[in-house]
Amino acid sequence: MWSLSGISNIIHNWLNQQFSPLWALIFEMVIAGVCVIGLFAALGLVLVLMERKVSAWMQIRLGPNRVGPKGILQSLADTLKLLVKEGMTPGGADKFLFNLAPLVAMIVAMLLMAPIAFAKDFQLWDLNIGVLYISAVSSISVISILMAGWASNNKYSLMGAMRSGAQIVSYELSAGLAILSVVVLTGSLNLNEIILSQADGWWIFKGHIPMLIAFVIFIIAVTAETNRAPFDLAEAESELTAGFHTEYSGMKFALFFLAEYVNVFIVCAIGATLFLGGWMPFHIGHWESFNHVMDYIPSSIWFFGKTFFLIFVIMWFRWTFPRLRIDQLLNLEWKYLLPISMFNILLVTLMAILGWHF
Amino acid sequence: MFIVKYIKDVFGAIKSLLVGMKRTGYYFTHHKEIITQEYPDNKATLQLPERFKGEVVMPHDEKNEHRCTGCTACELACPNGTIKVVTKFDITPEGKKKKAIDKLVYHLELCTMCNLCIVACPSDAIVMAQTFEHSVFDRSQLTKVLNNPGSKIMDGVE
């Protein structure tokens, strides 16, 4: 069958026939790297266009409609423009850190791709602590923002970076607790096992109201973690010109921009994996024929469908809600989300012990 | 009680956010609500809103008569000296002298389209037009005389 895992198996077998295992492994790594970079480029193009169209339609506008049919080449034209622009480094900046920061942002995004299961049996690295790995590595992204802000030698950049630090450090708590509630129910940190545990129903349905609360808190917290409006305090166009990437131009800016969208994709993919069953098809109880029809849809389409649905929800947030002030932002986390998610995880633990889920 | 207020706050916040999301979701799915005009393409069929304020004009009827009495209320109302009323004295058939406008000079380059002159006018002599293609190569062309040459005041407008 032409599934993603089938293709990867064919390539794996062919490489092992042609070369020694070491060279086959090296070639596979290269292929995986190229695929990840290709996915990044494709995501950047698709998500920027999607965001512009979604924002336009939500604000009763038309959106890009000039470049190419219905404007689908708009983000390609933007990329071309950014590629030919000069990537300036300001005179007073710390040159090494300044140029390193966008790369760190991209590398973090790349590392996060490793444990995500894109389809059935199609995963770069099936490690047994996938959830822990994701929550640990995603915290590194704050370092790239701090690095960019500090190295720019600009007050706006520094303030944006500091805000971003406060924001990500605090929102990571409630995101972590929301993820933890899934781990409590599953009893495993392995992303594959978490997906397999949802074969008879996704956690958002199986876990009653506490899981719904955890899901909502997770979505709010990851919106804040990816520095998107209504939590875009790190960029804060209205106060800090562009926050941590004020001084960046050309391709370095584009890397930050791309990293933002890739991070959105990744957190939505994690949300889809943990709460909406990853590549698991949608099944309803004992409706055998319905379940069989759902099984015919390829698992990669299920995964990308759920992920893009969550991305749409996050975009919906961005173009609906007013921005928060920095004190309101921290109030929301420390006075509302954190107590609620702590109480919620107690409920989930009780549910898991007493077996009250399906 | 504190905890009741807290829970009420949370639910009130969720409700108000959902109301907002419902509105933007409605706009997202109903493309007929889009108000963007693709301007140069639809020049022939362009429909501007009724209240659009493009420039001040003085309507004349088919007998080349306007409604301006030359009271200078518009000149006084204008916050940045856009309108200058040059008056003259007409001789009425009864032999009396009557104040009338010679020229109503309008500086489009100074106008902010604030509509105060139209509100101030007691005889509705001036209105806002819906034209907006005002670009010219020489700024002296932006100084306009609103009353047509040889026009006079309508009968019955005092």
Domain residue ranges in chain A: 93-354
Q: Are A320 and A229 in contact (CB under 8 A)?
A: no
B135 touches A: beta carbon within 8 Å: no
Fold of the B46-153 domain: Alpha-Beta Plaits (3.30.70)
Q: Which of A57, A321, A340 sits opposite B28 (nearest CB)?
A: A57
Burial class (CB in 10 A: 0-12, 13-18, 19+), A188: middle
Residues of A in contact with B37 (CB under 8 A): none
Question: Residue B105: which H helix or E strand, with range?
Answer: strand B97-107
* Average confidence (pLDDT) over B42-61: 85
A31 touches B: beta carbon within 8 Å: no
User: What pLDDT was estimated at residue A1?
Assistant: 54
Q: Which of B9, B28, B36 sits opposite A58 (nearest CB)?
A: B28
Q: Which of A62, A321, A340 sits opposite B20 (nearest CB)?
A: A321
Coil, helix or strand at residue A267 = helix
A83, A79, A49: which is closest to A66 by C-alpha? A49
What does the block give as tokens for A230?
């209504």
d(CA A347, CA B35): 48
What does the block give as tokens for A242?
């562009």
User: What pLDDT was estimated at residue A119?
Assistant: 77
Question: Would you call B31 and A336 a contact, using CB atoms and an 8 Å cutoff?
Answer: no
Question: Would you call A319 and B24 a contact, using CB atoms and an 8 Å cutoff?
Answer: yes
A316 touches B: beta carbon within 8 Å: yes
- State the greatest distance between any 2 C-alpha atoms of chain B, in Å, as a whole number: 87
Distance from CA of A153 to the nearest CA of B (A): 38
As beta bridge partners, residue B152 has B65
d(CA A334, CA B101): 70
Question: Would you call A320 and B17 a contact, using CB atoms and an 8 Å cutoff?
Answer: yes
Residues of A in contact with B31 (CB under 8 A): 57
Burial class (CB in 10 A: 0-12, 13-18, 19+), A25: middle
Rounded alpha-carbon distances, angstroms, from residue A20 to A6, A27, A34, A143, B156: 21, 11, 21, 39, 105
Structural domain boundaries of chain B? 2-33, 46-153
pTM, two decimals, is 0.81
Question: Which amino acid is located at A320 in the chain?
Answer: T
Residues of A in contact with B23 (CB under 8 A): 320
B17 touches A: beta carbon within 8 Å: yes
Q: Are A103 and A255 in contact (CB under 8 A)?
A: yes
Question: Would you call A62 and B34 a contact, using CB atoms and an 8 Å cutoff?
Answer: yes
Q: Which of A62, A317, A336 sits opposite B10 (nearest CB)?
A: A336
The pLDDT tens digits along chain A (358 residues) read 567 777 777 887 888 788 788 888 888 888 888 888 888 888 888 888 888 888 888 888 888 888 878 888 888 888 888 888 887 778 877 888 888 888 888 888 888 888 888 877 778 788 888 888 888 888 888 888 888 888 888 888 888 888 888 888 888 888 888 888 888 888 888 888 888 888 777 777 777 788 888 888 898 888 888 888 788 777 777 777 777 788 887 788 888 888 888 888 988 888 888 888 878 777 777 777 777 777 777 778 888 888 999 999 888 888 888 888 888 888 888 888 888 888 888 888 888 888 776 6
Q: Are A144 and A102 in contact (CB under 8 A)?
A: yes
